[in-house]
Amino acid sequence: KYYPPDFDPAKIPKLKLPKDRQYVVRLMAPFNMRCKTCGEYIYKGKKFNARKETVQNEAYLGLPIFRFYIKCTRCLAEITFKTDPENTDYTMEHGATRNFQAEKLLEEEEKRLQKKREEEELNNPMKVLENRTKDSKLEMEVLENLQELKELNQRQANVDFEAMLKQYKELEEEQRCKEQE
């Protein structure tokens, strides 16, 4: 490119773009959902041309939160959802309902139980010892059960290879005799 000697980049006018500008992006549905107007199921991974905007006055630890607008594949009703960086997930806003997720509930329950256990251990040193002994007993039981299963499988899978080979040779000889006859 040619820049004349009297070129001043400060004289170029800047574009005045609004803060809540929307961009068109291609994205996949981040979770299973069901449209509220027509009842159409939209499955995780379905591709959409969506409008994306930055949510004003909302951020999590300096990370911006984005809002996405998609249209239902059947009735073209607008569905919106936002990013949720705190839980590394998305939250449904309106237009559809999120389908049940058993794995997410299990993870939350597990985290809650772990947190409760840590709080108990923090306040009571005897609880730490009790939990440690329970864990070691449980681990020993699991190892014993595994050992029993291995022994059971070995007993049931006790294959006599010599007898199998002998039987196979006998069958081959019988077939040869029949062919010769």
- Span 146-150, mean pLDDT? 92
Share of the chain above pLDDT 90, in %: 62
* pLDDT at position 156 over 80: no
Predicted confidence at residue 99, as pLDDT, reads: 87
pLDDT tens-digit series, residues 24-76 = 999 999 999 999 999 999 999 999 999 999 999 889 999 999 999 999 999 99
More confident residue, 5 or 153: 5
Predicted confidence at residue 129, as pLDDT, reads: 85
Q: How far apart are CA 86 and CA 60, in angstroms?
A: 7
* pLDDT at position 20 over 90: no
Q: Which residues contact 20 (CB under 8 A, 6 or more apart)?
A: 53, 54, 56
* pLDDT at position 119 over 80: yes
Share of the chain above pLDDT 70, in %: 99
Q: Is the pTM of this model over 0.75?
A: no
Chain mean pLDDT for the chain? 90
* pLDDT at position 175 over 80: yes
- Span 99-122, mean pLDDT? 85
* pLDDT at position 177 over 90: yes
Please check whether residue 91 is in contact with residue 103, taking contact to mean a CB–CB distance below 8 angstroms. no
Beta strand spans in 73-157 (E) = 78-84, 89-94, 96-98
How distant, in Å, are the alpha carbons of 18, 19, 73, 105 from that of 65?
17, 13, 25, 24
Predicted confidence at residue 63, as pLDDT, reads: 94
Q: How far apart are CA 47 and CA 119, in angstroms?
A: 44
